[in-house]
A and B are shown apart, each in its own frame.
Chain A
């Protein structure tokens, strides 16, 4: 069945470090892929998305490229900030979510 496998956390980085959170998926067809973010004390919100192969979603310095050949949608950011500390969820179609990766950025 359709599913998402997400890199386990927690992840702790120093400010300005490079971030990668891995996400791979199993699906029939050509799913839309999403990254959601949950900041402390807040609800989940959409960070970025891609709807077809080779699409790159980007927002707030984060990027993810829809790789059909590797069935992946890894989240990257070149220089993280303390304000990026949150839990990040990869999602497939609308309803299949990864387990979430907690990111803490220290000054």
Chain B
């Protein structure tokens, strides 16, 4: 298993500003993912962040809006840029481990973002 922490746990931000969310894992993992969970909706994958390469973004998400860093195998950041109220959501980091259970995911507690 993996233990994941996220910072901040919540924040209230002004329109037009940016927020960087940190994700820390207690072990080295290859695959890290960032999700968005909007109120009353399912989790939506934003991007896959693999160490040593650029993040891979899902349809509807772009690097300019959601830049991601993955400097090592235990850490990643997601920035929400030029925020608007529509970006108010819970942002989740997750990891998948190698081996037979590769398609299981372990999730962080989430970052609750409110944009005014």
Contact = CB atoms under 8 A, between A and B. Distances in A.
Contacts of A34: 104
Contact of A89 (B40, B42, B109): B42
Interface string A42-80: 111110010000000000000000000000000000000
Contacts, number: 41
B89 interface: no
B103 A93 contact: yes
B110 A94 contact: no
A6 B33 CA distance: 23
A99 interface: yes
Main secondary structure of the interface of A (DSSP, over half): loop
Contact of B105 (A41, A94, A99, A100): A94
B107 A43 contact: yes
Given A4-B42, A97-B42, A97-B43, A46 B104 contact: yes
Contacts of A45: 106-107
A40 to B, nearest CB: 11
A99 B45 CA distance: 13
30 contacts: A6-B42, A32-B103, A34-B104, A36-B105, A36-B107, A41-B109, A42-B109, A43-B4, A43-B106, A43-B110, A44-B92, A44-B105, A44-B107, A45-B106, A45-B107, A46-B105, A46-B106, A49-B104, A89-B42, A93-B103, A94-B96, A94-B103, A94-B105, A95-B33, A97-B42, A97-B43, A98-B42, A99-B40, A99-B41, A99-B42
